[in-house]
């Protein structure tokens, strides 16, 4: 049973350090605890766990402006952060993991500021039809987090300069550009500040859970874990992955997200495979390429390989097979 709420705020704006702190908090959260972590990144594009970096981001333009490209642990799509955006992360053990309550905390905080916030679909919050918050989720064993953005006063001009959104995604969302979908909270309350939003979140956190909120500092955290996580999120191999071209490339949009599958084969057997996706089922999807290697390109054999993976999802499996069996 949940008995302790903690609030921690990062004063750093380096995305690699903030992601490292997020993972460290995840590794250290104890049963009965829920941590709310608030953080900001300066001029950053954050891509999902299984996304292709150069397909999602115009990296040269971003870096020329002094920005950073980073890859997070969770699935989902690419997002742009600047200091007009406040990020939140709820971290708990599985038994205490309640996405509905966590989402309600965000909604109550924003509504308390006089803004008509609503949940829209699986992982978006909107006001007057415009998206101001996108969410993603991650689980490692019994440790879970739910994180997202809160666009207060984000400079929207760089969205189209830095983000390269696939036409299939825009078509699936029924919009012409990523910029046309989003709004800032300041559009509804021009005097709103980041400290006011932080305070509203802290108050809503305690109110929704019915518990006092205690401060948490970095001093008591595992510094070895923090250094290990920082090394991972700073590593170009983690950020860029292996994007060498293979012989065949197939892609399509499904109800759960975009999927691109690349593979090479010899004598009807898949010899190499790569997968890129903005799907939220990050852990399952990242296991797929290794499972496909050495498997005959036959639906039954491929299905058996995928069914045996931890976290296997029947809908995703059939969509993956649809792409793999296309001629």
Least confident of 56-60, 132-136, 166-170, 185-189: 166-170
| Contact of 92 with 2, CB cutoff 8 Å | yes
Q: What is the pLDDT of residue 167?
A: 67
Domains of the chain and CATH, by start: 4-240 (3.30.930.10), 248-324 (3.30.390.50)
DSSP secondary-structure letter at 267? T
Quick one: pLDDT band at residue 79, thresholds 50, 70, 90? very high
Mean residue pLDDT of the chain comes to 93
Q: Which of 185, 213, 220 is nearest to 24 (CA)?
A: 220
Average pLDDT value for residue range 142-160: 95
**Mean pLDDT calculated for residue range 122-151:** 94
User: What is the number of other CB atoms lying within 10 angstroms of the CB of residue 72?
Assistant: 22
What is the average per-residue pLDDT within 17-29?
A: 98
284-310 per-position pLDDT tens digit: 999 999 999 999 999 999 999 999 999
Contacts of residue 233, defined as CB under 8 A and 6 or more positions apart, other chains included, come to 15, 16, 19, 20, 23, 70, 71, 239
What pLDDT score does 160 carry? 85
* pLDDT tens column, 80-93: 999 999 999 999 99
Q: Other C-beta atoms within 10 Å of 178: how many?
A: 21
Average pLDDT over residues 127-154: 96
Confidence of residue 222 (pLDDT cuts 50, 70, 90): very high
Strand blocks (E) in 170-280? 213-215, 248-254, 257-266, 269-277
Q: In what order do the strands lie in the sheet with 124-127?
A: 117-120, 124-127, 130-140, 143-151, 85-93, 33-39, 4-9, 213-215
Answer whether 219's CB lies under 8 Å from 10's CB.
Answer: no
Give which of 89, 114, 96 is closest to 211, Cα–Cα.
96
Percentage of the chain beyond pLDDT 70 is 95
Which comes out higher in pLDDT, residue 311 or 86?
A: 86
Q: What was the pLDDT predicted at 244?
A: 82
Q: H or E element: which one contains 93?
A: strand 85-93
Band of the pLDDT at 178, cuts 50, 70, 90?
A: low
Give bridge partners of residue 252 from the DSSP assignment. Answer: 259
Question: Please, how many CA atoms are within 13 Å of residue 35, restricted to the half-sphere of its CB?
Answer: 28
Indicate the pTM of the whole model: 0.92
Confidence label for 169 from pLDDT (cuts 50, 70 and 90): low
pLDDT, tens digit (0-9, with 9 covering 90-100), for 237-263: 999 988 788 999 999 999 999 999 999
Give whole-number Cα distances, 313 to 76, 194, 200, 256, 319, in Å.
16, 39, 37, 11, 10
Please state, in angstroms and as integers, the Cα–Cα distance from residue 107 to each residue in 40, 81, 224, 253, following that order: 19, 20, 36, 29
d(CA 280, CA 258) in angstroms, rounded, equals 10
Looking at residue 175, what is its pLDDT?
A: 41
Token pair belonging to 145 = 């987090």
How high is the pLDDT of residue 282?
93
Q: Which two tokens stand for residue 276?
A: 């890129």
- pLDDT score of 170 more than 90: no
> What is d(CA 201, CA 213) in angstroms, rounded to the nearest whole number?
11
Q: CA 155, CA 84: separation in Å to the nearest integer?
A: 7
- Bridge pairing between strands 33-39 and 4-9: parallel
- Contact at 8 Å (CB) between 309 and 284? yes
């Amino acid at each position: 049973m949940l008995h302790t709420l903690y609030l921690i705020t990062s004063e750093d704006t380096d995305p690699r350090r903030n992601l490292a702190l997020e993972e460290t908090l995840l590794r250290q959260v104890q049963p009965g605890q829920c941590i709310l972590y608030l953080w900001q990144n300066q001029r950053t594009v954050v891509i999902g766990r299984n996304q292709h970096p150069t397909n999602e981001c115009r990296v040269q333009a971003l870096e020329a402006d002094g920005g950073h490209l980073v890859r997070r642990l969770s699935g989902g799509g690419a997002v742009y952060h600047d200091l007009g955006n406040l990020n939140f992360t709820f971290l708990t053990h599985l038994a205490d993991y309640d996405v509905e309550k966590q989402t309600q905390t965000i909604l109550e905080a924003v509504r308390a500021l006089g803004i008509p916030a609503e949940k829209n679909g699986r992982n978006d919050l909107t006001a007057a039809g415009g998206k101001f918050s996108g969410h993603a989720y991650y689980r490692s064993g019994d440790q879970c987090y739910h994180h997202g953005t809160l666009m207060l006063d984000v400079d929207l001009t760089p969205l189209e300069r830095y983000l390269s959104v696939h036409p299939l995604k825009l078509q699936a969302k029924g919009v012409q550009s990523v910029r046309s979908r989003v709004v800032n909270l300041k559009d509804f309350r021009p005097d709103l500040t980041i400290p006011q939003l932080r305070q509203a979140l802290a108050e809503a956190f305690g109110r929704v859970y019915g518990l006092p909120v205690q401060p948490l500092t970095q001093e008591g955290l595992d510094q070895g874990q923090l250094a290990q996580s920082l090394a991972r999120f700073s590593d170009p191999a983690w950020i860029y992955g292996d994007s060498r071209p293979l012989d065949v490339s197939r892609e399509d949009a499904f109800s759960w997200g975009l999927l691109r599958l690349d593979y090479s084969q010899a004598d009807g057997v898949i010899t190499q495979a790569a997968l890129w996706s903005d799907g939220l089922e990050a852990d399952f999807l990242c296991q797929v390429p290794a499972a496909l290697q050495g498997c005959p390109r036959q639906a039954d054999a491929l299905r058996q390989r995928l069914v045996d993976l931890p976290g296997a999802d029947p809908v995703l499996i059939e969509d993956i097979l649809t792409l793999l069996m296309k001629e």
